[in-house]
Amino acid sequence: MTTTEVKTQIEAIGIIPAIRVGSAEDALFAVEAVSRGGIPIVELTMTVPGAVGLIAQLVRNSPGTIVGAGTVLDVETARECVEAGALFLTSTGLDYNVLEFAKERNVVAIPGAMTPTEVITAWKAGADFVKVFPCSHLGGAAYIRTLKTPLPQIPLIASGGVNQNTASDFIHAGASALGIGADLIPHEAIERRQTEWIHELARRFTRIVGAARERRSV
């Protein structure tokens, strides 16, 4: 997929599930469950054991899923992820070298930011989206709304504290997409291999995002 196609899909679906688990087996189960639940995008964080190899495996075996790498903190890790087939790179902060590498390799770049200065800096440096993290500690949806008022041109991804109670507020405040972890893929559901639980949560979050976007457009 091209960078434009990946960006379009992220914006259309509006949800980036973050996979942060303790084993490769758990990660594969989580990816399959959330994808079959209707969200064909996953962010596999580098804290997962053997994450780079898992990205390569997912790219080979799940061609309908957009696979990205999360918590990418240096260029060497970014290079390994891209060579494995990652279509987007995210981080909790802004690393210029990683961002520049992503742009050179035509991979979607989603650096993290907290302050307005960091958001503007990341955008000017070439970010495709800016991940505002951790949203819950910065004022939640109100903070996204505050940022979007003077910076409407910057697509923001709200991450940290996004759950079924807050997701609609974040979208209504102007977030282009939501980064969601355990509230979408509960650790207990993974441990018990309860696929339907994750399917139901995926459907719920998808409906929430859709409904919030409809209200925002009115």
- With a cut of 70, say whether residue 218 has pLDDT above it: no
Task: Give the pLDDT score at 215.
Answer: 85
- With a cut of 90, say whether residue 14 has pLDDT above it: yes
10 Å CB burial of residue 4 (0-12, 13-18, 19+) is: exposed
Mean pLDDT across the chain, nearest whole number?
96
CA atoms of 98 and 107, how far apart (whole Å): 11
Task: Give the pLDDT score at 138.
Answer: 86
Residues 65-80 pLDDT 10s: 999 999 999 999 999 9
CA atoms of 77 and 55, how far apart (whole Å): 12
- With a cut of 80, say whether residue 217 has pLDDT above it: no
- With a cut of 80, say whether residue 216 has pLDDT above it: no
Domains recognised in the chain with CATH numbers: 3-217 (3.20.20.70)
Which of 34-38, 52-56, 61-65 bottoms out in mean pLDDT, i.e. has the lowest? 61-65
- With a cut of 70, say whether residue 98 has pLDDT above it: yes
Task: Give the pLDDT score at 137.
Answer: 85
**What is the pLDDT confidence band of residue 105, given thresholds at 50, 70 and 90?**
very high
